Structure 1
């Protein structure tokens, strides 16, 4: 859970940036995880949207997250090229499933059957 201490000497954007980095490092935010929109997170944390946008920009510049246009902002796969490609394939599949309005549980079953799991 992310929280901002308005009385801290560290600026709110930096508090947010560090907490997201920690969540990624700990696995609480795994590769492929969709982050809240700037406006939604700003409202939840009761901070300005520009503060969240700045933290997101810096995280994206560091290669930790990526914005996929209208699809949103996601945690990037780190290091492993195979995982990056798998993440991209999974995101494409998820987008198509949403477009087709297939139930997510049914979509997961389709993937399991395709992988013979």
Structure 2
């Protein structure tokens, strides 16, 4: 599993971890039942405090994306079907993020749409 944390970012490290893992879970990169690394291992791998990694996992558990059990670890929870309103909300959020990045990069709308079309083809 590849999780990166930008320590220079204004976004807290636990939120970066949470967001990255949530995206991987929601897109199916991490399937239901996939075991996540132990909190201590994740913290050590990223050079962070154990509490930082633990908070990311706690936030994921609150969102229903993972389940944690003592001595059994943290695993990706079974996926629940989502309705069209939630799908539209998530797509809008992803589109907003993408548009902001494209704007910062200075690309034209056509270049941005070409990038999306290419990503969807892959």
Q: Same fold (TM over 0.5)?
A: yes
1:18-97 matches, cutoff 5 A: 18-79=19-80
After superposition, what is the alpha-carbon deviation per residue over 1:16-42, rounded to whole angstroms, capped at 9, x for unaligned?
000000110221111000000000000
**Mean Cα deviation higher: 33-42 or 20-29:** 20-29
Supply the distance in 2 between the matched residues of 1:73 and 1:21 (Cα, whole angstroms).
14
Q: What is the TM-score when the length of structure 1 is the normalising length? A: 0.66
Q: 2:71 is paired with a residue of what secondary structure?
A: helix
Long gaps (5+) in structure 1: 81-117
Aligned structure 1 segments of 4 or more residues deviating by more than 4 angstroms? none
Cα RMSD after superposing both structures: 1.0
Aligned length: 80
After superposition, what is the alpha-carbon deviation per residue over 1:67-101, rounded to whole angstroms, capped at 9, x for unaligned?
12211110000216xxxxxxxxxxxxxxxxxxxxx
Corresponding residue number in structure 2 for 1:17 = 18
Supply the distance in 2 between the matched residues of 1:70 and 1:63 (Cα, whole angstroms).
19
Q: 2:18 is paired with a residue of what secondary structure?
A: helix
Supply the distance in 1 between the matched residues of 2:69 and 2:32 (Cα, whole angstroms).
14
